Amino acid sequence: MAEWRVMRHLFLMMVVLLSGGVVGAQKPEVVRAPDETILLWGGETRGGKPPGGWAVEGEEVREEQGHMGGIVTLRNVGVPALYAYRPQGVPQNRAVIICPGGAYHLLAWDLEGTEVASWLSGLGYHAFVLKYRLPRGGDKERHGAALEDAQRAVSLVRGQAAERGIAPDRVGIMGFSAGGHLAALTGDRGNERSYKAEDGVDDVPCRPDFTVLVYPAYLIPDQNAAEGAGVKEPVGGATGLSPLFRGMEQAPPSFLVHAVDDPVPVGNSTAFLLALKSRKVPGELHVYPDGGHGYGLRSGLTVKGWPQRLAEWLGRVPAGAVRAEEKAEGKKEEGKVEKKEEEAKPDEKKAEADQ
């Protein structure tokens, strides 16, 4: 029964992604090639080998599908990498790592990856498309390898921040559909790395400074969605999210987009927003009456307004979200300073009297 639920959920997600698409689909006029390709697990220590020796059988597969006027998809990904797009025009010191969706079965490479990176780089941002590993079975959770890649990507970009003109406290992650789930998990885990640190890149914090979730999937504790994402624990949780989320204690400020008519329930986004609110973390959700699912930047329906809203939000989201415990620690230090100043006052008065 559990296997049937997994297959049914995967089938529904794939129908959405690979169907004819949404009315009014429009491809971006300009989509440029990346400026650089960065292997995630390179270096002398890693030697190109991901944690645990994980690998896929066969070659990476690149295909064209008819969704949204024609898209390029990737599957059977075994060599994860970042595809870097340098800022065009006036450079901003903020970086966005982009996670394409595809039900953890494939990657909607241009629709939710390269087209988005081209657009963001045109606004002056440093954009990086993450080609993360896609398992094809086994006992590893479906998102497991992808989460390792996402955390490694955040550390890698932050570690190169100075040379790239990026502020180290302005490195965020963005995801679509299953990629939104991946981005949300990366924010929720904070600096709790999902693999053993072995080199200098892993010494750099992996907590993103902000997240952008566009029609995210697998966030709520629906039985089918939870099993499809690889959840083995009972569904539920204090936050109202899938048990994969660990309390949202370290979650950064987030921007969310969803359409009411999306077959992936808008409840994924509303539950995430409420979880943010419960932790007093800034969050912004834009809900549109129509748009469906899997539109990227191409929709001609009301949801087409989301890129402008995101551009506005990126311009005002604070740098380096400070966690509650860091704030508390700061207050403690302030208290210590004030106490020392108070203790010093009697000595000052005594000195004045002696004079």
pLDDT the model gives residue 139: 57
Residues 292, 352 within the same domain? no
pLDDT reported for residue 221: 79
The CATH number for 76's domain is: 3.40.50.1820
Residue pLDDT, tens place only, 105-124: 999 999 999 999 999 999 99
The reply to whether 350 and 258 lie within a common domain is: no
Domain, as residue range, for 333: 326-355
Distance (Å, rounded) from C-alpha 206 to C-alpha 79?
Answer: 20
Give the separation between CA 182 and CA 158, rounded to whole angstroms.
Answer: 18
Residues 354 and 305 placed together within one structural domain of the fold: no
> Which of 38-47, 68-77, 205-214 has the lowest average pLDDT?
38-47
Residue 2, pLDDT > 50, answer: no
Mode of pairing for the β-strands spanning 81-85 and 126-131: antiparallel
Residues 270 and 344 in one domain: no
195 plus 226 within the same structural domain: yes
The count of structural domains within the chain is: 2
State whether 343 and 287 are in the same domain.
no
Verify that 247 and 349 share a domain, yes or no: no
Q: Are residues 346 and 276 in the same domain?
A: no
Q: What is the pLDDT of residue 228?
A: 44
Same domain flag for 247 and 331: no
State pTM to two decimals.
Answer: 0.83
For helices 178-189 and 144-159, the axis angle rounded to 10 degrees is: 60
CB-CB neighbours of 242 under 10 Å: 24
Q: Which residues, at least 6 apart from 308, have a Cβ–Cβ distance to it below 8 Å?
A: none
Examine the domain organization and report whether 110 and 176 are in the same domain: yes
User: 231 with 333, same domain?
Assistant: no
Same domain, 21 and 78: yes
Q: What is the pLDDT of residues 38-54, one digit of tens each?
A: 999 987 667 778 887 77
